Amino acid sequence: MEIVPMTDIKSFTELRLKSGLTIEKVASLTGYSQREVYRWEKNEVKPRKLVVDRLLRLAQSPAHYGRSSYDFTFIDLFAGIGGMRKAFDELGGKCVFTSEWDKYAQQTYLANYHDDHGVAGDITQIDAVDIPEHDILIAGFPCQPFSIAGVSKKNALGRPHGFADKTQGTLFFDVARIIEHHRPKAILLENVKNLGSHDKGKTFQVICDTLRELGYFFDAKIIDAIHWVPQHRERIFIVGFREDCDFSFDRFEYPTETEQPVLQSILHPENGSEPEEAPWTIGPTGKVSEKYTLSDHLWEYLQKYAEKHKARGNGFGFGLVGPDDTTRTLSARYYKDGSEILLKQHGKNPRRLTPRECARLMGFDSPSGSNFVIPVSDTQAYKQFGNAVVVPVVRAVGQYLLEYLFDGVSADQLRLDFMTELG
């Protein structure tokens, strides 16, 4: 189909990014499926002229929607390897400060994001006055004190957890002191699902009370990443605003794709269509290295462990999946035995996912095929992806946040405006 000239814009992807829209938002605004938009991205088919006309106008005058390409700034606290950063970069934001204490996570972050400000370390040692002004504060503050696994471990060791844990639980208050000093327009906090029920809801109540004391209006929602990636991963997102803009997650939309993403979409094809990426894949066909296949000893151990707990009526055990399945939650302990996600293999023991497949499972690799840099060992990579956020989920939440932040423009208004122009 004929499309209008795009002057210096060379691709649909560039046009979309200049328009400040995500793939999900283009699909939502135009009524096309995300699969169709991906086809535009890959230049397999051309979008309709009306779609391109609309995006061109947005690219030429993004202020129509209340912002320009870098009209909002944000800071990235407890940044990990930058999953939340990646999502907000893609939404058109500019990161002005990053904090992450783990040296291996810093290594991965710096390999992928090249900022003048670098990565600051321990947030407890950073004065709020030394942090630049910003529009949005994003923070995936440590979840260990609130997670089911973390609570169980600390109980077994006779250690306190939640806000009684002086080394991790109180790190939320470092977020609070920065909010109090800078008064950002909006905040986005992410944590494990269990945050809401920890200590019979008292932990979450303290967080809510603190945000109210700071004068913020907010709402929270537990979102499962399975709508975006082939992984069951529930996390709680808290979005707050300095001004009361009547924010609610009630209108938050999940992807409209009719087909559930399956594991096949993130696996190495092993057919030569993907170049070798040592040490994960080898040879002209890009075959997954045998080191990811479980040894007879480990596979036998995991099967006996599962049988023992099944006999006791427990649900503990490995998660064996095929290409058409979805997975359990990838955890930071995946490097130990890979038991939560084991991929079936014909005629031999199952295998772990490679770090590259984990990157895809967490949404770090783009649909166009550009790869997230993984400069660390497999052990560190598994820990990092297991502790990370699912990027497209954060992107969807961030897009929803921005609709409220900029001139009160809502998704409903955007869609009505777009459909009006379509006639």
**Residues with catalytic function:** 143
Enumerate long-range contacts of 324-327, CB under 8 Å, 24 or more apart. Answer: 324/262, 324/263, 324/264, 325/230, 325/262, 325/263, 326/226, 326/230, 326/231, 326/232, 326/260, 326/261, 326/262, 326/263, 327/230, 327/231, 327/232, 327/263, 327/361
Please calculate the CA angle 386-363-136 and round it to the nearest 5 degrees.
Answer: 90
CA distances from 293 to 8, 190, 345 (A): 48, 34, 9
Establish how many alpha carbons lie within 13 A of residue 331's alpha carbon, considering only the half-sphere containing its beta carbon.
20
Q: Torsions phi, psi of 224, nearest 5?
A: -95, 125
Helix or strand run (H / E) with residue 224: strand 217-224
CA distance 402 to 411: 10
CA distance 122 to 341: 32
Cα of 92 vs its chain's centroid, Å? 16
| Residue 171 burial (10 A CB sphere; 0-12, 13-18, 19+) | buried
Q: Torsions phi, psi of 75, nearest 5?
A: -115, 150
CA distance 339 to 331: 10
Residue 408 backbone class (left: φ over 0; alpha: ψ -120 to 50; beta: rest)? left
Q: How many CB atoms lie within 10 A of CB 212?
A: 12
